[in-house]
Chains A and B, each alone.
Chain A
């Protein structure tokens, strides 16, 4: 079996100092750009040097790649919409994109629908143990940690703790559970997300398993990943060594732990939801949805929404214009459109000015459908979306409520 687990770091001391774990991702992106393996790099950089305000940036000059060095847990963005909306789905340019697992999954879902060109994308997956909303994070740093948010130089989530590094080099840590008790919680969708390592991307990078070494643990997930890493190693941009068994074990252990936590949380949420009677559910959702001010934020932020002629527009005749709150069809149309493919990225809920808990609705439906259709959105690019495919076997199943082995629960 070909080895696909490595520890990598940049031999360049400056890059190493800027990146969070040996600067491997920064060095790799820079090398890809220098050798014209990609036309551009799409990554996230800080605006005004604030760790709470990230802007996506398209870079074509290798000298500028370092601006995007370092992880950001307090400024969740989604890169997918940018590629799809403003870069023509990467149809005619090769782009390297840094992505969290939810971005990577959204790329896969859009590629299935021919909205982005997967062959032109080099997906640099970054392990993700969850993100905070900037507003929550800022308040948390100020009140729970007692520090000025502007002094923050870095943060990481590890072993159930949030560890922050300040500009003077000192670190402070707090137990995540303790923070939750004080009211500082991660984004809701992150808590239930069980995709911590983006294996659907070309490479999955993270610090789990580096065992304290200033290096990035990289799992290569596709031939393209091998190609890019080989080039970087040959050019001397990256130093790579195969991961030891001990490191692999450590990483596996951390991942399993994180995934189990997330699954437990998801299960708990869904079970709580199932205990509601249908009247209570209707009341709950009508109550929340009646706050909608029809800003279209959820639609515009959603990486999966792609209809050019959108049903939500008044001229389509489904939702009358000039009414707030809009008819509940507004949300239900969106729900029915992304039901099978929601990747739980949480962008809709982040965008919502009325704080409607949209991801809760989507994730419950999504998890129910995952069982019926045996489909996990954004994992396997060769598995077509369940609502736009039928199989030959289904021709011979007569029951109107069964499509396969899993769907017979109702």
Chain B
């Protein structure tokens, strides 16, 4: 690992809602907005599909941050999917805190299809935040090291 924290380039997994944030990301792209290229996007039909297990699995497998972006409350394509997500994310953050992974590694944001600049902003801020947190503590431990602790 590098000694200077700022050399660290986090690996971030982004779960985006098909109806809003994915389109928002698209808009940011076609508008040629610049944002850090640290995110890998997985498209979901609704953020309500995101099981807390997906988030935890991603983090235990070594990504440095998980970004979830969905529709604003009241604008979900399916009614209330994003509201369930909000509750699950609250729960998952506490869960991560309990076992010793910084809850700041998980971030939920609302990005509508028209909010290209906001998407770029969210990604920029979250990348910065994750960079400051440093590498995921689980990513630096090999399986062997985990078991002998």
Residues of A within 8 A of B (CB): 276, 278-287, 290, 311, 318, 325, 327-329, 332-333, 335-336, 339-340, 361, 364-365, 368-369, 372-373, 386-388, 390, 394-398, 400-401, 403, 407, 410
Contact = CB atoms under 8 A, between A and B. Distances in A.
15 contacts: A284-B100, A285-B100, A290-B149, A311-B53, A318-B53, A328-B60, A332-B95, A332-B99, A335-B95, A361-B99, A365-B98, A386-B87, A395-B74, A400-B108, A410-B93
B87 A282 contact: no
Given A278-B102, A390-B84, A400-B86, A329 B56 contact: yes
Contacts of A328: 60, 146
Contacts of A372: 90-91, 94
Interface of B: 52-53, 56-57, 60, 72-74, 80, 83-84, 86-95, 97-103, 108-110, 137-138, 141, 146-149
A396 B72 CA distance: 10
Contacts of A284: 100
A339 B87 contact: no
B72 A398 contact: yes
A41 to B, nearest CB: 38
Contacts of B74: 395-396
Contacts of B101: 278, 282
Given A285-B100, A369-B94, A387 B88 contact: yes
Contacts of A403: 83, 86-87, 90
B90 A401 contact: yes
Contact of A329 (B60, B97, B148): B60
A395 B90 contact: no
Given A361-B98, A394-B86, A336 B108 contact: no
A340 B101 CA distance: 19
Contacts of B53: 311, 318, 329, 332-333, 336
